Structure 1
C-alpha cells in the first residue's frame, strides 16, 4: 500500500511517500480503508523525537493517530464492526510504527467508534484526538457544569474549539483566547474572545472580575501561570501542555483512546452540539506540507490529509 513514513527522527523532510507492507489484522482489530487522517501537533513532535522518552519507534514509522474510513476486514475477535461500516478512530498504541497516514490501517476496536453520519470524512477525521482531549478535560478533569465561567486557551484550535462547544453545551459561560483574526469564529462558537499575549490577565479580569471557575491550558509556561492567577476561589485548573500544573494544584491530562467517549462525541456531532472546522486539506503525498502548517500553530480548527480512491 501507499503510505507516508520516516526512517529516522527529523524535520518534515524525513517524511517519505511510497510503498510499505500491508498491515496485518490482529484478532482484536479491523482493517480500515483510510479516507482521511487529521494532523495533530503530537504527530510532528513524535517525528522530531520529542516523545522518545515514552514511545519507542519501530522504524519505518507511519505517522498519524486520527482516522476516518471504512471497515474492509474485521478481525477474528472483533464483532463490533462489519465490512462497510464507516468509522472514526484515535488509533494510538504504546509505540510508534503503524499510523494512519496510509491507504489502510489495522485499528484496534478499542480505538474506534462509528463515524457521525452528518460529517464528511474530512471533518470526521478531525474529531477523535482533539475531541477526546477536550471531552476528557471538560467533563472529567474540570467537571464543567451549568453556570461555570470557563477559560479556554487557543480556543480557535482543534482542541480549543471543541472544548468551547462542550463547555457551552454544559451550560457554562466561556472566555476563549485567540488572535484577533479568530475572534468572530469564537463568537460563532459561543465564546467571548480575548487576545492572548501581554495584558491577558487584565483583559480576562475585565470580563470576569471575580475570576474563572475553570481554566483549560493548552499552551503551558506563562499561559499556565496566568490561568492559575485568574482562578476564582475553589477554581479548577487543567493543562495538556505543562506538567507544572500539578504543582499548582491542577490536573495534567494526556488523552486516552476510550471507545465509549469517542462514541459519545460522535453522537454529539450528530446532534449538532459539536462541529469540526477543517482549515485546510492536503493529499497524502503532501503530508510534509501539512506537518509544516501544523507546526506554525496558526490553524483554525483542523488540518487534514486525504486519501484519494477511485470509488
Structure 2
C-alpha cells in the first residue's frame, strides 16, 4: 500500500465556477477550499487548461447541464495538464502508478479550470477524471489541449478507418478536433480535403490538408479538387459535410459526425476512443510527428474573454487558459 503524500499544505484553491448556468458572463473565479486526494486518487496542481466547445455547451442552461449530470454550483472546463502534488492511499489498483512530481494531463468533466483537481486513478474523463503521463518534450499548454480533441479525433478516424488510397473530406477541419483529425488521417496515408473559411486555408495547408471553402457549391468545389472521388468523410461541425459526402457517393458506413445525429450515420464519441489512443497521440506529439496549434492563451483571470474567443468558433487551433 502506498502512503499518502504529506504535501497537503494548500488549504485554498482558485476555481472557475458557475453560480448560475449561462454564457461567459456567468463565469467567476472563486477562492474555494483546496480539494484533497482520497484513497485511489491523485491531486494535480493544474498549470494549464484547454477549452473545448463542449465546455460552454453543456453549461449553457440548466436542462443541458442536467443531461451531463451537472448541478450548481458548478466548475468549468475539462482538459488539464499539470503536476501531481498529492497522492492518496493505494487500494490495490489504486495510485501505484503515480507519485508526487509526476507530470500528467487528462480530463475532469467541468472542473478542470482550477488550481487543483482531484482525479480517480482508475477513473474516466466523465466519471472521476482521467490522468495520463505527459511525455518528455511536451509542454503543459500543449498537453492541456490533447484529451478531448485527441480522443474525439481518434474515435472519428476509427469509424471511417482511412488509409492509403483514401481521399477523406473533413468538415470543420481547422477547429480543435480538426487539427488532430487532419494529421491523423494524413499519418494513416490518406489524402485529406478540409473545409474551412478563406482565412483558414493557410492553416489547413500547414497541417497537410487541401483547403476548400465551405458553403453553397461545396460539392462542385470538392469534385474539382478530387475528380477521382471522395471515399470517406468526417463532419466536425454539423451535417453539411454529411450531405455533401452523400452527394459525392460516399457510403454511409464511411461517414461520421461528432456534433449531430444523422439517420444511417455512425456518430463518433471521444468516450469510445480505443484504449491507448490518447497515449499514442501524446507520443506522436512528443516525437514531432503531430503538431498542436495553440491559437491563443489567456491567464485564468481572463476566463470570460477566453471562452468568448473559443465559443466564436473562428480560431484555428486550441485556446488554453494558464493557471
Instruction: Please tell me whether Structure 1 or Structure 2 has the larger radius of gyration of its CA atoms.
Output: 2
Alignment of 1:1-311 (within 5 A): 1-49=13-61, 51-76=64-89, 77-92=94-109, 99-109=111-121, 110=123, 111-138=130-157, 140-232=158-250, 236-244=254-262, 247=263, 249-256=264-271, 260-307=276-323
CA RMSD of aligned residues (A): 1.8
1:184 deviation in Å? 1.4
Give aligned pairs, total: 298
TM-score, normalising length: structure 2: 0.87
1:30–1:75 contact (8 Å) kept in structure 2: yes
TM-score, normalising length: structure 1: 0.90
Give a deviation string over 1:129-155, Cα, whole Å, max 9, x none: 1111111211x2111222211111111
1:114–1:266 contact (8 Å) kept in structure 2: no
Distance 2:52 2:167 in 1: 28
Give a deviation string over 1:15-64, Cα, whole Å, max 9, x none: 11121122232323210000000111111112202633521223211111
SS, match of residue 35 in structure 1: strand
1:75 deviation in Å? 2.8
Distance 1:223 1:143 in 2: 17
Distance 1:305 1:160 in 2: 20
Q: Which has the higher strand share?
A: 1
1:118 deviation in Å? 2.1
Question: Is there any run of 5+ residues in structure 1 with no aligned partner, and where?
Answer: none
1:254 deviation in Å? 2.0
Distance 1:113 1:187 in 2: 30
2:15–2:32 contact (8 Å) kept in structure 1: yes
1:235 deviation in Å? 5.9
1:200 deviation in Å? 0.8
1:10 deviation in Å? 1.1
1:108 deviation in Å? 2.4
1:205 deviation in Å? 1.2
SS, match of residue 219 in structure 2: helix
